[in-house]
A = this chain, B = another copy of it.
Protein backbone atom coordinates (compact mmCIF):
# COMPACT_ATOMS: atom_id res chain seq x y z
CA UNK A 1 0.00 0.00 0.00
CA UNK A 2 1.50 3.33 -1.03
CA UNK A 3 1.20 6.55 0.98
CA UNK A 4 -1.29 7.89 -1.57
CA UNK A 5 -3.43 4.75 -1.37
CA UNK A 6 -3.20 5.04 2.40
CA UNK A 7 -4.28 8.68 2.23
CA UNK A 8 -7.40 7.83 0.25
CA UNK A 9 -8.33 4.80 2.36
CA UNK A 10 -7.43 6.66 5.55
CA UNK A 11 -9.85 9.48 4.81
CA UNK A 12 -12.65 7.00 4.23
CA UNK A 13 -11.75 5.17 7.43
CA UNK A 14 -11.76 8.41 9.45
CA UNK A 15 -15.19 9.29 8.08
CA UNK A 16 -16.40 5.84 8.91
CA UNK A 17 -14.99 6.06 12.48
CA UNK A 18 -16.57 9.50 13.02
CA UNK A 19 -19.93 8.18 11.80
CA UNK A 20 -19.55 5.04 13.90
CA UNK A 21 -18.67 6.86 17.08
CA UNK A 22 -21.42 9.39 16.47
CA UNK A 23 -24.08 6.72 16.08
CA UNK A 24 -23.12 4.18 18.74
CA UNK A 25 -26.25 4.96 20.71
CA UNK A 26 -28.33 3.49 17.89
CA UNK A 27 -26.59 0.12 18.15
CA UNK A 28 -27.33 -2.62 20.70
CA UNK A 29 -24.96 -2.47 23.66
CA UNK A 30 -24.22 -6.16 23.90
CA UNK A 31 -23.12 -7.89 20.69
CA UNK A 32 -26.13 -9.78 19.38
CA UNK A 33 -24.18 -12.82 18.20
CA UNK A 34 -23.82 -16.43 19.22
CA UNK A 35 -20.50 -18.17 19.84
CA UNK A 36 -18.79 -18.96 16.53
CA UNK A 37 -21.03 -16.68 14.50
CA UNK A 38 -18.34 -14.13 13.70
CA UNK A 39 -15.71 -16.79 13.01
CA UNK A 40 -17.95 -18.48 10.48
CA UNK A 41 -18.17 -15.29 8.44
CA UNK A 42 -14.53 -15.71 7.46
CA UNK A 43 -12.99 -18.30 5.18
CA UNK A 44 -11.10 -21.05 6.95
CA UNK A 45 -8.17 -20.59 4.56
CA UNK A 46 -6.17 -17.38 4.24
CA UNK A 47 -7.17 -15.06 1.39
CA UNK A 48 -5.12 -15.61 -1.75
CA UNK A 49 -6.13 -12.39 -3.49
CA UNK A 50 -5.99 -8.90 -1.98
CA UNK A 51 -9.38 -7.38 -1.30
CA UNK A 52 -8.67 -3.65 -1.42
CA UNK A 53 -9.28 -1.10 1.31
CA UNK A 54 -12.90 -0.39 0.38
CA UNK A 55 -13.84 -4.03 0.56
CA UNK A 56 -12.05 -4.31 3.92
CA UNK A 57 -14.03 -1.37 5.28
CA UNK A 58 -17.22 -2.97 4.00
CA UNK A 59 -16.34 -6.23 5.77
CA UNK A 60 -15.41 -4.33 8.92
CA UNK A 61 -18.91 -2.88 9.00
CA UNK A 62 -20.72 -6.05 7.94
CA UNK A 63 -18.77 -8.84 9.61
CA UNK A 64 -16.96 -7.29 12.57
CA UNK A 65 -19.11 -4.53 14.04
CA UNK A 66 -22.10 -6.80 14.85
CA UNK A 67 -19.64 -8.75 17.03
CA UNK A 68 -18.69 -5.79 19.19
CA UNK A 69 -20.12 -5.15 22.62
CA UNK A 70 -20.34 -1.37 22.56
CA UNK A 71 -18.43 -0.29 25.65
CA UNK A 72 -18.52 3.30 24.32
CA UNK A 73 -22.35 3.18 24.39
CA UNK A 74 -23.93 5.51 27.00
CA UNK A 75 -26.03 2.59 28.24
CA UNK A 76 -22.98 0.43 28.92
CA UNK A 77 -22.60 -0.12 32.67
CA UNK A 78 -20.64 -3.37 32.57
CA UNK A 79 -17.32 -4.25 34.23
CA UNK A 80 -15.69 -0.83 34.61
CA UNK A 81 -15.89 2.14 32.25
CA UNK A 82 -13.54 1.57 29.34
CA UNK A 83 -13.63 4.97 27.74
CA UNK A 84 -11.74 5.49 24.52
CA UNK A 85 -11.96 9.28 24.31
CA UNK A 86 -11.69 10.52 20.75
CA UNK A 87 -8.84 12.83 21.76
CA UNK A 88 -6.78 9.85 22.93
CA UNK A 89 -7.94 7.84 19.92
CA UNK A 90 -6.40 10.53 17.75
CA UNK A 91 -3.13 10.15 19.69
CA UNK A 92 -3.30 6.40 19.22
CA UNK A 93 -3.74 6.92 15.48
CA UNK A 94 -0.72 9.22 15.47
CA UNK A 95 1.25 6.44 17.16
CA UNK A 96 0.21 3.97 14.46
CA UNK A 97 1.01 6.48 11.74
CA UNK A 98 4.52 7.11 13.00
CA UNK A 99 5.38 3.38 12.99
CA UNK A 100 8.09 3.76 15.61
CA UNK A 101 10.10 1.05 17.33
CA UNK A 102 10.50 1.28 21.11
CA UNK A 103 13.29 -1.08 22.17
CA UNK A 104 15.82 1.44 23.48
CA UNK A 105 16.20 5.18 23.89
CA UNK A 106 18.16 5.23 20.64
CA UNK A 107 15.44 3.47 18.65
CA UNK A 108 13.04 6.33 19.43
CA UNK A 109 14.24 9.02 21.86
CA UNK A 110 10.88 10.79 21.65
CA UNK A 111 8.93 7.72 22.78
CA UNK A 112 11.11 7.40 25.88
CA UNK A 113 11.18 11.06 26.77
CA UNK A 114 7.52 11.86 26.13
CA UNK A 115 6.68 8.86 28.33
CA UNK A 116 8.86 10.36 31.08
CA UNK A 117 7.07 13.68 30.64
CA UNK A 118 3.46 12.40 30.68
CA UNK A 119 4.10 9.96 33.51
CA UNK A 120 5.39 12.86 35.56
CA UNK A 121 2.42 15.02 34.58
CA UNK A 122 0.07 12.26 35.70
CA UNK A 123 2.02 11.92 38.94
CA UNK A 124 1.42 15.59 39.65
CA UNK A 125 -2.23 15.40 38.62
CA UNK A 126 -2.89 12.60 41.10
CA UNK A 127 -1.10 14.37 43.94
CA UNK A 128 1.87 12.03 44.26
CA UNK A 129 5.19 13.37 45.47
CA UNK A 130 8.38 13.61 43.44
CA UNK A 131 9.59 10.36 44.95
CA UNK A 132 7.61 8.43 42.34
CA UNK A 133 8.82 7.55 38.87
CA UNK A 134 6.54 5.97 36.32
CA UNK A 135 6.10 4.15 33.06
CA UNK A 136 3.20 2.97 30.92
CA UNK A 137 2.42 -0.73 30.87
CA UNK A 138 -0.35 -2.51 29.00
CA UNK A 139 -2.57 -3.44 31.93
CA UNK A 140 -2.74 -3.48 35.70
CA UNK A 141 -2.39 -7.28 35.48
CA UNK A 142 1.08 -6.95 34.02
CA UNK A 143 1.93 -4.15 36.44
CA UNK A 144 0.89 -6.30 39.40
CA UNK A 145 3.02 -9.19 38.14
CA UNK A 146 5.94 -6.81 37.77
CA UNK A 147 5.38 -5.55 41.31
CA UNK A 148 5.33 -9.06 42.76
CA UNK A 149 8.45 -10.02 40.81
CA UNK A 150 10.43 -7.08 42.15
CA UNK A 151 9.00 -7.65 45.63
CA UNK A 152 10.16 -11.26 45.43
CA UNK A 153 13.63 -10.18 44.43
CA UNK A 154 13.94 -7.52 47.12
CA UNK A 155 12.86 -9.78 49.96
CA UNK A 156 14.89 -12.75 48.67
CA UNK A 157 17.93 -10.53 48.26
CA UNK A 158 17.90 -11.04 44.52
CA UNK A 159 17.50 -14.79 44.39
CA UNK A 160 17.10 -14.61 40.59
CA UNK A 161 20.82 -13.97 40.40
CA UNK A 162 21.50 -17.15 42.39
CA UNK A 163 19.45 -20.31 42.57
CA UNK A 164 16.13 -18.63 41.99
CA UNK A 165 13.02 -18.85 44.06
CA UNK A 166 13.27 -22.61 44.01
CA UNK A 167 16.32 -22.62 46.27
CA UNK A 168 15.02 -20.27 48.93
CA UNK A 169 15.00 -21.71 52.44
CA UNK A 170 11.89 -20.00 53.69
CA UNK A 171 8.68 -19.82 51.65
CA UNK A 172 7.83 -16.25 50.68
CA UNK A 173 4.28 -15.17 51.43
CA UNK A 174 1.92 -12.78 49.61
CA UNK A 175 -1.05 -11.07 51.30
CA UNK A 176 -4.22 -9.73 49.79
CA UNK A 177 -7.98 -10.29 50.26
CA UNK A 178 -10.62 -12.26 48.39
CA UNK A 179 -11.91 -8.89 47.18
CA UNK A 180 -8.67 -8.38 45.21
CA UNK A 181 -8.80 -8.55 41.43
CA UNK A 182 -8.28 -11.97 39.87
CA UNK A 183 -5.06 -10.71 38.31
CA UNK A 184 -3.48 -10.42 41.77
CA UNK A 185 -3.92 -14.13 42.42
CA UNK A 186 -2.78 -14.90 38.88
CA UNK A 187 0.32 -12.76 39.36
CA UNK A 188 1.21 -14.48 42.63
CA UNK A 189 0.93 -17.90 41.01
CA UNK A 190 2.88 -16.88 37.89
CA UNK A 191 5.61 -15.31 40.04
CA UNK A 192 6.06 -18.74 41.61
CA UNK A 193 4.83 -18.09 45.14
CA UNK A 194 2.28 -20.91 45.02
CA UNK A 195 -1.33 -20.94 46.13
CA UNK A 196 -0.44 -22.22 49.60
CA UNK A 197 1.66 -19.13 50.18
CA UNK A 198 -1.05 -16.71 49.19
CA UNK A 199 -2.98 -15.37 52.17
CA UNK A 200 -6.49 -14.00 51.71
CA UNK A 201 -6.62 -11.81 54.80
CA UNK A 202 -9.86 -11.13 56.66
CA UNK A 203 -11.95 -8.08 55.79
CA UNK A 204 -14.47 -5.76 57.31
CA UNK A 205 -17.70 -7.54 56.38
CA UNK A 206 -19.47 -4.39 55.21
CA UNK A 207 -16.77 -2.38 53.49
CA UNK A 208 -14.80 -5.46 52.42
CA UNK A 209 -11.63 -3.54 53.25
CA UNK A 210 -8.70 -5.58 54.53
CA UNK A 211 -8.54 -5.73 58.31
CA UNK A 212 -5.16 -4.37 59.46
CA UNK A 213 -5.48 -6.38 62.65
CA UNK A 214 -5.99 -9.58 60.70
CA UNK A 215 -3.06 -8.70 58.44
CA UNK A 216 -0.71 -8.08 61.37
CA UNK A 217 -1.81 -11.31 63.05
CA UNK A 218 -1.34 -13.34 59.86
CA UNK A 219 2.14 -11.95 59.34
CA UNK A 220 3.09 -12.76 62.93
CA UNK A 221 1.78 -16.28 62.48
CA UNK A 222 3.77 -16.75 59.29
CA UNK A 223 6.97 -15.60 60.95
CA UNK A 224 6.29 -18.04 63.77
CA UNK A 225 5.78 -20.81 61.23
CA UNK A 226 9.15 -20.14 59.61
CA UNK A 227 7.79 -18.34 56.55
CA UNK A 228 9.00 -15.06 55.11
CA UNK A 229 6.32 -12.39 54.56
CA UNK A 230 7.11 -10.76 51.22
CA UNK A 231 4.42 -8.65 49.58
CA UNK A 232 1.06 -7.08 50.35
CA UNK A 233 -1.32 -6.06 47.59
CA UNK A 234 -3.85 -3.39 48.53
CA UNK A 235 -6.95 -2.87 46.40
CA UNK A 236 -7.96 0.72 45.83
CA UNK A 237 -11.37 0.41 44.25
CA UNK A 238 -11.91 -3.34 43.97
CA UNK A 239 -13.70 -4.79 40.96
CA UNK A 240 -16.48 -6.38 42.96
CA UNK A 241 -17.76 -3.49 45.05
CA UNK A 242 -15.10 -0.75 44.62
CA UNK A 243 -13.75 -1.51 48.09
CA UNK A 244 -10.76 0.41 49.43
CA UNK A 245 -8.20 -1.30 51.61
CA UNK A 246 -6.73 0.90 54.39
CA UNK A 247 -3.48 1.77 52.65
CA UNK A 248 -2.11 3.89 55.48
CA UNK A 249 -2.34 1.18 58.12
CA UNK A 250 -1.17 -1.48 55.69
CA UNK A 251 1.87 0.64 54.82
CA UNK A 252 2.81 0.82 58.49
CA UNK A 253 2.59 -2.95 58.83
CA UNK A 254 4.51 -3.45 55.58
CA UNK A 255 7.29 -1.14 56.77
CA UNK A 256 7.54 -2.86 60.14
CA UNK A 257 8.06 -6.25 58.49
CA UNK A 258 10.01 -5.12 55.42
CA UNK A 259 7.22 -6.27 53.09
CA UNK A 260 6.61 -4.75 49.68
CA UNK A 261 3.33 -2.85 49.42
CA UNK A 262 1.72 -2.67 45.97
CA UNK A 263 -1.39 -0.54 45.54
CA UNK A 264 -3.64 -1.83 42.77
CA UNK A 265 -5.67 1.27 41.93
CA UNK A 266 -6.57 0.11 38.42
CA UNK A 267 -10.01 1.67 38.75
CA UNK A 268 -9.60 4.29 41.46
CA UNK A 269 -6.54 5.99 40.02
CA UNK A 270 -8.83 8.07 37.82
CA UNK A 271 -10.59 9.34 40.94
CA UNK A 272 -7.29 10.59 42.31
CA UNK A 273 -7.39 13.31 39.67
CA UNK A 274 -9.98 14.82 42.05
CA UNK A 275 -8.37 16.13 45.25
CA UNK A 276 -11.57 15.44 47.18
CA UNK A 277 -11.17 11.68 46.53
CA UNK A 278 -7.56 11.31 47.63
CA UNK A 279 -8.45 10.47 51.21
CA UNK A 280 -9.53 7.09 49.81
CA UNK A 281 -5.91 6.04 49.26
CA UNK A 282 -4.39 7.96 52.13
CA UNK A 283 -0.98 6.56 52.97
CA UNK A 284 -0.19 5.76 49.35
CA UNK A 285 3.05 7.74 49.63
CA UNK A 286 4.40 4.96 51.83
CA UNK A 287 3.67 2.18 49.35
CA UNK A 288 6.39 0.70 47.16
CA UNK A 289 4.50 0.57 43.88
CA UNK A 290 1.21 1.80 42.44
CA UNK A 291 -0.62 0.99 39.26
CA UNK A 292 -3.73 2.49 37.73
CA UNK A 293 -5.42 2.56 34.35
CA UNK A 294 -6.15 5.80 32.53
CA UNK A 295 -7.78 3.43 30.02
CA UNK A 296 -10.69 2.92 32.37
CA UNK A 297 -12.73 5.80 33.75
CA UNK A 298 -10.39 8.63 32.76
CA UNK A 299 -10.71 7.49 29.17
CA UNK A 300 -7.28 7.25 27.59
CA UNK A 301 -7.86 4.49 25.06
CA UNK A 302 -6.74 0.96 25.97
CA UNK A 303 -3.98 -0.04 26.58
CA UNK A 304 -2.63 2.51 29.01
CA UNK A 305 -1.78 1.45 32.55
CA UNK A 306 0.46 3.63 34.70
CA UNK A 307 3.00 1.93 36.96
CA UNK A 308 4.93 3.93 39.54
CA UNK A 309 7.72 2.88 41.87
CA UNK A 310 9.67 4.72 44.52
CA UNK A 311 12.88 2.76 43.95
CA UNK A 312 13.35 2.71 40.20
CA UNK A 313 16.91 1.47 40.59
CA UNK A 314 15.67 -1.74 42.16
CA UNK A 315 13.03 -2.17 39.45
CA UNK A 316 15.63 -1.82 36.74
CA UNK A 317 18.05 -4.16 38.47
CA UNK A 318 15.46 -6.92 38.36
CA UNK A 319 14.00 -6.25 34.92
CA UNK A 320 17.04 -5.17 32.92
CA UNK A 321 18.92 -6.77 30.11
CA UNK A 322 21.85 -5.22 28.35
CA UNK A 323 22.83 -7.25 25.30
CA UNK A 324 25.56 -5.91 23.03
CA UNK A 325 23.18 -5.43 20.11
CA UNK A 326 21.14 -2.90 22.08
CA UNK A 327 24.01 -0.83 23.41
CA UNK A 328 24.70 2.75 22.42
CA UNK A 329 27.11 5.44 23.51
CA UNK A 330 24.50 7.33 25.55
CA UNK A 331 23.20 4.43 27.64
CA UNK A 332 24.39 5.99 30.90
CA UNK A 333 22.49 9.20 30.27
CA UNK A 334 19.07 7.91 29.28
CA UNK A 335 16.17 5.87 30.57
CA UNK A 336 15.65 2.45 28.97
CA UNK A 337 11.99 1.63 29.44
CA UNK A 338 12.54 -1.95 28.30
CA UNK A 339 14.05 -2.39 31.78
CA UNK A 340 10.83 -1.22 33.47
CA UNK A 341 8.67 -4.15 32.42
CA UNK A 342 8.47 -7.50 30.65
CA UNK A 343 8.33 -6.72 26.91
CA UNK A 344 11.33 -5.41 24.98
CA UNK A 345 9.44 -3.83 22.07
CA UNK A 346 7.03 -1.08 23.08
CA UNK A 347 4.48 1.04 21.23
CA UNK A 348 4.50 4.84 21.52
CA UNK A 349 1.73 4.86 24.14
CA UNK A 350 2.64 8.21 25.62
CA UNK A 351 1.11 9.89 22.57
CA UNK A 352 -2.43 8.94 23.48
CA UNK A 353 -2.08 10.28 27.00
CA UNK A 354 -0.47 13.46 25.67
CA UNK A 355 -3.26 13.93 23.11
CA UNK A 356 -5.91 13.26 25.73
CA UNK A 357 -4.56 15.89 28.10
CA UNK A 358 -3.71 18.25 25.26
CA UNK A 359 -7.06 18.26 23.47
CA UNK A 360 -9.66 17.52 26.15
CA UNK A 361 -7.72 19.18 28.94
CA UNK A 362 -7.60 18.11 32.57
CA UNK A 363 -10.42 20.43 33.66
CA UNK A 364 -12.95 18.86 31.32
CA UNK A 365 -11.85 15.39 32.37
CA UNK A 366 -12.30 16.24 36.06
CA UNK A 367 -15.69 17.83 35.40
CA UNK A 368 -16.84 14.63 33.74
CA UNK A 369 -15.60 12.47 36.62
CA UNK A 370 -17.51 14.64 39.10
CA UNK A 371 -20.63 14.34 36.94
CA UNK A 372 -20.32 10.56 37.20
CA UNK A 373 -19.89 10.62 40.97
CA UNK A 374 -23.04 12.72 41.23
CA UNK A 375 -24.89 10.39 38.90
CA UNK A 376 -23.88 7.38 40.96
CA UNK A 377 -25.15 9.03 44.14
CA UNK A 378 -28.41 9.94 42.42
CA UNK A 379 -28.83 6.44 41.06
CA UNK A 380 -28.14 4.83 44.43
CA UNK A 381 -30.77 7.09 46.00
CA UNK A 382 -33.39 5.93 43.48
CA UNK A 383 -32.61 2.29 44.18
CA UNK A 384 -32.60 2.75 47.93
CA UNK A 385 -35.92 4.53 47.86
CA UNK A 386 -37.63 1.83 45.82
CA UNK A 387 -39.49 -1.05 47.35
CA UNK A 388 -37.77 -4.47 47.14
CA UNK A 389 -34.54 -3.00 45.78
CA UNK A 390 -31.31 -2.83 47.73
CA UNK A 391 -27.98 -1.11 47.40
CA UNK A 392 -25.63 -3.80 48.71
CA UNK A 393 -22.36 -1.98 49.31
CA UNK A 394 -21.08 1.50 50.07
CA UNK A 395 -20.95 3.66 46.93
CA UNK A 396 -17.34 4.75 47.21
CA UNK A 397 -16.99 5.90 43.62
CA UNK A 398 -19.16 5.40 40.56
CA UNK A 399 -20.21 1.76 40.87
CA UNK A 400 -23.51 0.88 42.50
CA UNK A 401 -24.04 -2.74 43.55
CA UNK A 402 -27.72 -3.59 43.60
CA UNK A 403 -30.23 -6.40 43.84
CA UNK A 404 -33.94 -6.73 43.33
CA UNK A 405 -35.27 -8.78 46.23
CA UNK A 406 -38.96 -9.50 45.80
CA UNK A 407 -40.72 -10.90 48.87
CA UNK A 408 -40.33 -14.62 49.36
CA UNK A 409 -37.26 -15.02 47.18
CA UNK A 410 -33.96 -15.95 48.76
CA UNK A 411 -30.97 -18.24 48.36
CA UNK A 412 -30.73 -20.02 45.02
CA UNK A 413 -34.13 -18.78 43.95
CA UNK A 414 -33.00 -15.20 44.42
CA UNK A 415 -29.83 -15.98 42.44
CA UNK A 416 -31.93 -17.34 39.59
CA UNK A 417 -34.12 -14.24 39.65
CA UNK A 418 -31.11 -11.91 39.57
CA UNK A 419 -29.37 -13.69 36.70
CA UNK A 420 -32.62 -14.02 34.83
CA UNK A 421 -33.71 -10.38 34.72
CA UNK A 422 -30.15 -9.25 34.11
CA UNK A 423 -29.71 -11.72 31.28
CA UNK A 424 -32.95 -10.62 29.66
CA UNK A 425 -31.97 -6.98 29.88
CA UNK A 426 -28.44 -7.58 28.59
CA UNK A 427 -29.71 -9.67 25.69
CA UNK A 428 -32.16 -6.96 24.70
CA UNK A 429 -29.25 -4.71 23.81
CA UNK A 430 -30.87 -1.76 25.55
CA UNK A 431 -28.35 -1.69 28.41
CA UNK A 432 -25.56 -3.83 29.75
CA UNK A 433 -24.35 -4.58 33.28
CA UNK A 434 -22.14 -7.31 34.74
CA UNK A 435 -23.22 -9.70 37.44
CA UNK A 436 -20.82 -10.40 40.29
CA UNK A 437 -20.87 -12.43 43.46
CA UNK A 438 -21.04 -10.89 46.92
CA UNK A 439 -21.03 -13.20 49.91
CA UNK A 440 -21.53 -16.00 47.40
CA UNK A 441 -24.76 -14.55 46.04
CA UNK A 442 -25.24 -12.91 42.64
CA UNK A 443 -25.76 -9.19 42.46
CA UNK A 444 -25.65 -6.63 39.68
CA UNK A 445 -22.92 -4.03 39.29
CA UNK A 446 -24.08 -0.78 37.72
CA UNK A 447 -20.76 0.75 36.81
CA UNK A 448 -21.42 4.34 35.82
CA UNK A 449 -18.85 6.48 34.06
CA UNK A 450 -19.17 6.08 30.32
CA UNK A 451 -18.00 9.27 28.65
CA UNK A 452 -21.39 9.60 26.92
CA UNK A 453 -23.50 8.61 29.90
CA UNK A 454 -25.67 11.49 31.14
CA UNK A 455 -28.35 11.66 33.83
CA UNK A 456 -31.03 10.97 31.20
CA UNK A 457 -29.38 7.62 30.42
CA UNK A 458 -29.50 6.69 34.08
CA UNK A 459 -33.14 7.65 34.29
CA UNK A 460 -33.75 5.36 31.35
CA UNK A 461 -31.69 2.59 32.95
CA UNK A 462 -33.65 2.80 36.17
CA UNK A 463 -36.90 2.39 34.23
CA UNK A 464 -35.49 -0.59 32.33
CA UNK A 465 -34.24 -2.25 35.50
CA UNK A 466 -37.57 -1.95 37.22
CA UNK A 467 -39.58 -3.25 34.31
CA UNK A 468 -37.16 -6.10 33.56
CA UNK A 469 -37.15 -7.27 37.18
CA UNK A 470 -40.91 -6.85 37.49
CA UNK A 471 -41.52 -8.87 34.37
CA UNK A 472 -39.39 -11.77 35.58
CA UNK A 473 -40.87 -11.60 39.07
CA UNK A 474 -44.35 -11.72 37.57
CA UNK A 475 -43.71 -14.87 35.54
Contact = CB atoms under 8 A, between A and B. Distances in A.
A72 B106 CA distance: 15
Given A17-B6, A295-B345, A363-B48, A107 B69 contact: yes
Nearest to A325: B436
Contacts of A66: 110
Task: Identify which of A67, A97, A346 gathers the most chain B CB atoms within 10 Å of its CB.
Answer: A97
A47 B303 contact: no
A164 interface: yes
Given A90-B6, A139-B345, A172 B166 contact: yes
A113 B14 contact: no
Task: Identify which of A2, A71, A122, A302 gathers the most chain B CB atoms within 10 Å of its CB.
Answer: A302
A329 interface: yes
A462 interface: no
Given A56-B359, A194-B165, A109 B160 contact: no
Interface residues of A, number: 168
A9 interface: yes
Interface string A112-138: 011011001110110000000000001
A449 interface: no
A406 interface: no
A347 interface: yes
A33 B109 contact: yes
A4 B33 contact: no
A51 interface: yes
A42 interface: yes
A245 to B, nearest CB: 17
Interface in A1-41: 1-7, 9-11, 13-22, 30-31, 33-39
A141 B343 contact: yes
Interface string A430-446: 00001111000010010
Interface in A75-124: 78-79, 82, 84-87, 89-94, 96-103, 105-111, 113-114, 116-117, 120-122, 124
Given A38-B114, A152-B192, 9 more contacts: A1-B359, A3-B19, A13-B90, A50-B359, A69-B109, A138-B345, A162-B195, A164-B192, A303-B345
20 contacts: A3-B86, A35-B105, A35-B333, A38-B114, A46-B357, A47-B361, A49-B361, A52-B359, A53-B87, A160-B190, A164-B165, A166-B193, A182-B322, A182-B323, A240-B324, A303-B345, A303-B346, A324-B442, A325-B435, A325-B436
The 8 closest A-B pairs by CB, nearest first: A164-B194, A67-B110, A84-B99, A17-B97, A50-B361, A7-B18, A3-B22, A10-B14
